[in-house]
């Protein structure tokens, strides 16, 4: 058995984190990519919105990359394709909803006519020798979620993608557990499985149950109702439309991502019962008890519709005291602060706010432990590979798999190269992995100088110094300073720094004064030390000195 006949699994994103999913499989020297997603930046990446997986490892093997197979259209699984495809240049495969979502992104990037995007029917098959990929319809919180059955000469892999076992998904059909049982009966070497909700003992619940709850919760409300939810949750929009019709309210959708997803869904035959929509400009003509607004911004995004409504910056909508805002969504870890800001602003204006902590207004799209147990009993893999979670989530799923009798469990992190066959499953090597940051339109290393420097400036401030020297090597004028982000309690910090810089220059020997680099470094050290002492901060500001000869 040669190395090329080994069956390998390599996660480059989504293992040890929730989001930014990128998974690779290899056999016979050929590679298959499953998903290519993004994650959203936090304050640790100032000025950055999106974080993408680093793809250097597979770029080096691009000639053997057969294709990218997408499980569904969520950003953390498909959002990086338009940005990273030029580095990979391979075919892309997706079911109709995901393909339509991707076309809008590719069009924005000028790649619509360039990327070979192949639309796969629901339940379809893709043959990319030596891989055969069968799409297995599953349930999640978006239209057309899929698990993948990846068949190779060395064995079959069940790649779950994002999933749950929803008995009443409202959009799409319930998961066919008989089909999953048949897959398990035929034998599965390995299962690569979502770990997100492993700490929830019970099943995540159904969209149908949420509809019943919202129908009751929003009945007989005399005020204007605003509901914010994930833009991709087509089933939730269908529920809110049904609630609006049942209670005599007109439905208005606000937010570009929401409008785009609804348009795609309707084009593909979903949301057939969606009532006529009211434009945002016409809302003011309706009495409050006849208004139902569904909008983006459930994660507190500053530029989303809800944040602008909450701060009074939306040009068409103003809420009144007594109006109701419902967060029909989960608070994603890390987003607590921005969500809190929006909620506090709403409450300050006398608006009632209901979240998932107050009422049954949301169900997750990921499996609780009861569903994980059910899937393991259906699939019965020989190897369990938990992914799509932080280390604690994946470790807990690994323990569960062992409890359920799975013979081998491999804990993986981004960059691990796992040999699945032949022989026992084990990590055999490590691939280069990491993160890229989308900085405007430019992809840069997330730990590169641009981001690190920006972060250091945000923590410590900036001090720029310009000194002009005459032909005799004397200061031709007072040093010029540029202070950014430095505390200056008495307004005299600049004066004190000028004195320090001038004194430091006087200490230089004549020969040293002729060397601009030595002058700049000597003054930089003195100025930074003085600024650090003056402000009492643990680190001094980023300090740059420019020497001019006049």
Give the C-alpha separation, 486 to 528, whole Å.
Answer: 12
The answer to whether 37 touches 19, Cβ cutoff 8 Å, is yes
Q: What is the pLDDT of residues 259-293, one digit of tens each?
A: 999 999 999 999 988 999 999 999 989 999 999 99
In sequence order, what are the residues at sequence separation of 6 or more whose Cβ sits closer than 8 angstroms to the Cβ of residue 358?
Answer: none
Structure token pair of residue 214: 């919202």
In 401-533, the DSSP E strands lie at 408-409, 416-421, 426-430, 435-439, 442-445, 462-469, 480-484
Handedness of CA 230, 234, 235, 239 (dihedral sign): positive
pLDDT band at 426 (very low <50, low <70, confident <90, very high): very high
**HSE, side-chain direction, 13 A CA sphere, residue 157:** 30
The answer to whether 407 touches 383, Cβ cutoff 8 Å, is yes
Angle at alpha carbon of residue 321, lines to 319 and 323, rounded to 5°: 60
User: What pLDDT does 43 receive?
Assistant: 79
Give the C-alpha separation, 194 to 385, whole Å.
Answer: 9
User: What pLDDT does 3 receive?
Assistant: 60
- Residues 63-89 have a mean pLDDT of 97
Q: What is the pLDDT of residues 337-350, one digit of tens each?
A: 999 999 999 999 99
Alpha-carbon radius of gyration of the chain: 28
- Parts of the chain belonging to CATH 3.40.50.10710: 207-354
Give the C-alpha separation, 280 to 318, whole Å.
Answer: 11
pLDDT band at 92 (very low <50, low <70, confident <90, very high): very high
Tokens 């995901």 — which residue? 98
State the DSSP string of 63-104: GGEEEEE-S---HHHHTTHHHHHHHH---EEE-HHHHHHHHH
- Residues 195-207 have a mean pLDDT of 96
- Parts of the chain belonging to CATH 3.10.20.580: 461-549
Closest CA to 179 of 211, 128, 135, 225: 135
Number of neighbours of residue 352 by Cβ within 10 angstroms: 16
Distances in whole angstroms, Cα of residue 215 to Cα of each of 241, 246, 278, 360, 361: 10, 8, 20, 11, 10
- Parts of the chain belonging to CATH 3.60.15.10: 3-202+364-445
Handedness of CA 234, 240, 241, 246 (dihedral sign): positive
- Residues 69-90 have a mean pLDDT of 97
Whether pLDDT at 431 is above 60: yes
For domain 3-202+364-445, the CATH superfamily is: Ribonuclease Z/Hydroxyacylglutathione hydrolase-like (3.60.15.10)
Structure token pair of residue 7: 């069956």
Give the C-alpha separation, 8 to 418, whole Å.
Answer: 5
What does DSSP assign to residue 415?
T
The CATH architecture that domain 461-549 belongs to is Roll (3.10)
pLDDT band at 192 (very low <50, low <70, confident <90, very high): very high
Handedness of CA 347, 352, 357, 363 (dihedral sign): negative
Q: What is the pLDDT of residues 98-128, one digit of tens each?
A: 999 999 999 999 999 999 999 999 999 999 9
Distances in whole angstroms, Cα of residue 136 to Cα of each of 13, 160, 174, 277, 317: 22, 9, 12, 34, 43
Cis previous bond, 422, omega within 30 = yes
Number of neighbours of residue 313 by Cβ within 10 angstroms: 9
Whether pLDDT at 481 is above 80: yes
Give the C-alpha separation, 506 to 424, whole Å.
Answer: 71
The answer to whether 192 touches 23, Cβ cutoff 8 Å, is yes
Helix, strand, coil percentages (3-state) for the chain, rounded to 5, are 35, 25, 40
Give the predicted TM-score (pTM) of the model: 0.92
Whether pLDDT at 359 is above 50: yes
Fold for domain 207-354? Rossmann fold (3.40.50)
pLDDT band at 1 (very low <50, low <70, confident <90, very high): very low
Percent of the chain with pLDDT over 90: 87
């Amino acid at each position: 058995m040669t190395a090329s006949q080994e069956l390998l699994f390599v996660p480059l994103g989504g293992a040890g984190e929730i989001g930014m999913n990128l998974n690779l499989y290899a056999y016979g020297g050929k590679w298959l990519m499953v998903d290519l997603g993004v994650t959203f930046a936090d304050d640790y990446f100032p000025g950055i919105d999106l974080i993408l997986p680093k793809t250097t490892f597979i770029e080096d093997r691009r000639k053997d990359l057969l294709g990218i197979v997408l499980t569904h259209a969520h950003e953390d699984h498909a959002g990086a394709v338009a940005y990273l495809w030029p580095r990979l240049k391979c075919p892309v495969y997706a079911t109709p909803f995901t393909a339509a979502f991707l076309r809008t992104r590719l069009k924005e990037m000028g790649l619509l006519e360039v990327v070979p995007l192949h639309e796969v029917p629901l339940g379809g098959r893709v043959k990319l020798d030596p891989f055969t990929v069968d799409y297995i319809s599953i349930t999640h919180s978006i239209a057309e979620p899929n698990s993948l059955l990846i068949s190779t000469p060395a064995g079959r892999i069940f790649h779950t993608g994002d999933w749950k076992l929803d008995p009443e998904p409202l959009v799409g059909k319930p998961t066919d557990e008989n089909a999953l049982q048949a897959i398990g009966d035929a034998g599965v070497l390995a299962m690569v499985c979502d770990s997100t909700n492993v700490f929830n003992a019970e099943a995540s619940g159904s969209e149908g149950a949420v509809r019943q709850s919202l129908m009751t919760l929003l009945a007989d409300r005399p005020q204007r109702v605003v509901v914010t939810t994930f833009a991709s949750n087509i089933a939730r929009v269908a529920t809110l439309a049904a609630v609006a019709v049942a209670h005599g309210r007109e439905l208005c959708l606000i937010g570009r991502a929401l409008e785009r997803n609804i348009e795609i869904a309707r084009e593909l035959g979903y949301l057939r019962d969606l009532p006529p929509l009211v434009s945002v400009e016409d809302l003011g003509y309706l009495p409050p008890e006849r208004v139902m607004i569904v909008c983006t911004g459930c994660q507190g995004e500053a530029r989303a519709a809800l944040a602008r409504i909450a701060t009074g910056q939306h040009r068409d909508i103003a809420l009144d005291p007594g109006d109701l805002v419902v967060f029909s969504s989960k608070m994603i870890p890390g987003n607590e602060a921005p969500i809190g800001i929006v909620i506090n602003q709403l409450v300050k204006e006398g608006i009632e706010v209901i979240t998932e902590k107050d009422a049954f207004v949301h169900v997750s799209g990921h499996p609780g432990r009861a569903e994980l147990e059910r899937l393991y009993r259906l699939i019965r893999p020989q190897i369990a590979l938990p992914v799509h979670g932080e280390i604690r989530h994946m470790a807990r799923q690994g323990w569960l798999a062992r409890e359920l009798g799975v013979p081998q469990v491999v804990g993986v992190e981004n960059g691990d190269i796992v040999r699945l066959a032949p022989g026992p499953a084990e990590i055999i090597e490590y691939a280069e992995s990491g993160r890229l940051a989308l900085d405007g339109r430019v992809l840069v290393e997330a730990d590169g100088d641009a981001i690190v420097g920006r972060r250091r400036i945000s923590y410590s401030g900036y001090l720029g110094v310009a000194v002009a020297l005459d032909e005799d090597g004397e200061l031709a004028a007072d040093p010029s300073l540029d202070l950014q982000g430095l505390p200056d309690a008495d307004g005299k910090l600049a004066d004190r720094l000028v004195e320090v810089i001038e004194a430091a220059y006087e200490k230089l020997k004549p020969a040293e004064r002729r060397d601009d680099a030595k002058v700049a470094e000597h003054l930089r050290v003195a100025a930074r030390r003085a600024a650090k002492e003056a402000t009492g901060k643990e680190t001094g500001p980023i300090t740059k000195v420019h020497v001019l000869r006049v």
